[in-house]
Structure formats: C-alpha cells, structure tokens
Amino acid sequence: MKWFLIFVLISTIMLIAYSVSNQYRDRLDFYVNLTKFLKKFQLNISFKQDKVMQFLDETKPKKQFKLFVLSYQNYLKTGKLDLSQISVLSDEEKGELNNIIKNIGRFDANNEIKQLDQFIMEIESKRAAAEQDKNKLCPLIIKLSLLFAIGLSILLV
C-alpha cells in the first residue's frame, strides 16, 4: 500500500509538471500558427469581409490559437476584439496583438503588405523567444519535478 501511494505521489507531481510545461509548448504553438496565419493572410490579401471570414473558416486552428481565430471572427462581426481568453500571452503581448489586428486592413494593398511584413518580423522574434523558453524550461521543469518527487518519496519512506 505504501509503495502504491508513493507511485501515486510521483505520478501526480509529474502530471503537474507536464501541465506546467505544456504552457510553454502551447505558447510556441500559438506563435507558430500566428506567423502562418499572417503569412497566409498576406498572400491572400483581400479587403472584403466575407472573403476574410471564409479564409478564417478554412483555417484549422488548435488549442489557444483557436481562441484567437474565434476572437478575430467576433471582431469582424462586432468590432470588439477580446483576447482575454488566450492564456499563453501576457497582457502586454495581448495589447500588441490587439494593435496588430486592429491595424490590418487600414492601408492600401502595398502598404498593407509592408505592414504585415513588419508584424510578421515582430511575431517571429516572439516565436524565437517562445521556442527558446520551451527548449530551456520544459526539460528543466520536468527534471526538477522528478527530483522533487523522488526526494519527497524518500522522505516518506
């Protein structure tokens, strides 16, 4: 019975560690998908709202990026952009993304493409930082959690 409880303790701590490290994976996934989204938007630039909605419907988002696509669709319908549900972004990043989204479609085609290039460069730098965090922190979190779980189980034995 004692060994079973220790196994449950280690398993629980490791599940918590994986869920915490998943936030870094989701953050990287969000920025990768946002970059793809902006590049596709740039290639298929159109200023008619029905074409933009069709473009968004064709996008197959996952996890946090799905919340962004739903928020963007709602923004096109109502004019209100709510990014509060996207948990992988800080408030500052949500503000920057809010500015990016609200500036799309305000320029002529040539200036719009230049503006999107600038947005993509900003997002690429954030994607690189997210990838670095994921590669550095995910293994660290898991290893430290495993050491903590083993140490705690040794104390309990």
Enclosing domain of residue 135: 24-156
Of 151, 143, 128, the C-alpha closest to 21 is 143
Confirm whether 17 is domain-assigned: no
* Radius of gyration for the chain, computed over Cα atoms and rounded to the nearest angstrom: 21
Confirm whether 13 is domain-assigned: no
Q: What is the pLDDT of residues 15-57, one digit of tens each?
A: 999 988 888 988 888 888 888 888 877 777 655 556 666 667 7
pLDDT score at 51: 65
pTM of the predicted model, to two decimals? 0.78
Considering only the C-alpha atoms of the chain, give the largest distance between any 2 of them, rounded to a whole number of Å: 71
- Number of domains forming the structure of the chain: 1
Q: What is the pLDDT of residues 64-119, one digit of tens each?
A: 888 888 888 888 788 888 888 888 888 888 888 888 777 776 666 677 778 888 88
**Residue ranges in the chain assigned as alpha helix (H):** 2-43, 49-58, 64-78, 91-103, 109-156
Give the span between the Cα atoms of 157 and 144, in whole angstroms: 20
Confirm whether 52 is domain-assigned: yes
Confirm whether 147 is domain-assigned: yes
Of 134, 101, 61, 25, the C-alpha closest to 93 is 101
Confirm whether 55 is domain-assigned: yes
Confirm whether 148 is domain-assigned: yes
Structure tokens at 139: 């293994």
Confirm whether 108 is domain-assigned: yes
Confirm whether 96 is domain-assigned: yes
pLDDT score at 84: 84
